[in-house]
């Protein structure tokens, strides 16, 4: 960062030195025309740069040709290259269902598993004991 600041200071010093030298070369009564002449020179440079850029852009463009039936020997049918269109139908959607007043055991069996079966009470007791210990240690 220090190096960058030194370089910028040197560049600023050089610009001021050149500007001071140039202003000393111009007589005092003509110094008010220096900024106008500098802007005119800058405008001419920008104009030449623009003309140069646009003239090279036109000559540098190439024609793009599209070959539709190229005899390359490789041809892939369109139905193998792309997926077929999807059928245009919307399946029926059930937006709501009627609530049941009561559920039979056969209806509930795929949706519910009793945690008290198959010895899971042991795990429940262990979890409750651990929770009680944690809650007992909290002030």
What per-residue confidence (pLDDT) applies to 118? 72
What per-residue confidence (pLDDT) applies to 19? 83
Task: Identify whether the C-beta of residue 29 lies closer than 8 Å to the C-beta of residue 37.
Answer: no
Each residue's pLDDT tens digit, 86-129: 777 766 776 667 777 888 888 888 887 776 677 777 888 889 99
Q: Is the pLDDT of residue 43 over 90?
A: yes
What per-residue confidence (pLDDT) applies to 79? 78
Q: Residue 79 has which token pair?
A: 């139905």
What per-residue confidence (pLDDT) applies to 62? 60
Each residue's pLDDT tens digit, 6-26: 999 999 999 899 888 878 888
Each residue's pLDDT tens digit, 49-99: 999 888 876 555 566 665 565 556 677 787 788 887 777 776 677 666 777
Rounded CA-CA distance 37/48 in Å is: 17
Give me the residue label for tokens 């090279």. 56
Note the pTM of the prediction, 2 decimals.
Answer: 0.30
Q: Residue 5 has which token pair?
A: 């600041």
């Amino acid at each position: 960062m220090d190096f960058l600041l030194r370089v910028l200071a040197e560049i600023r010093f050089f610009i001021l030195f050149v500007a001071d030298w140039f202003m000393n070369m111009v007589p005092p009564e003509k110094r008010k025309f220096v900024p106008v002449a500098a802007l005119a020179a800058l405008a001419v440079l920008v104009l030449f740069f623009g003309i140069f850029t646009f003239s090279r852009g036109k000559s540098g463009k190439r024609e793009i040709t599209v070959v539709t039936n190229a005899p390359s020997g490789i041809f892939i049918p369109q139905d193998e290259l792309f997926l077929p269109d999807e059928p245009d139908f919307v399946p029926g959607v059930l937006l709501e269902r009627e609530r049941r007043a009561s559920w039979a055991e056969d209806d509930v069996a795929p949706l519910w598993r009793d945690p008290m079966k198959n010895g899971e009470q042991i795990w429940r007791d262990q979890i409750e004991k651990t929770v009680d210990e944690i809650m007992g240690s909290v002030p």
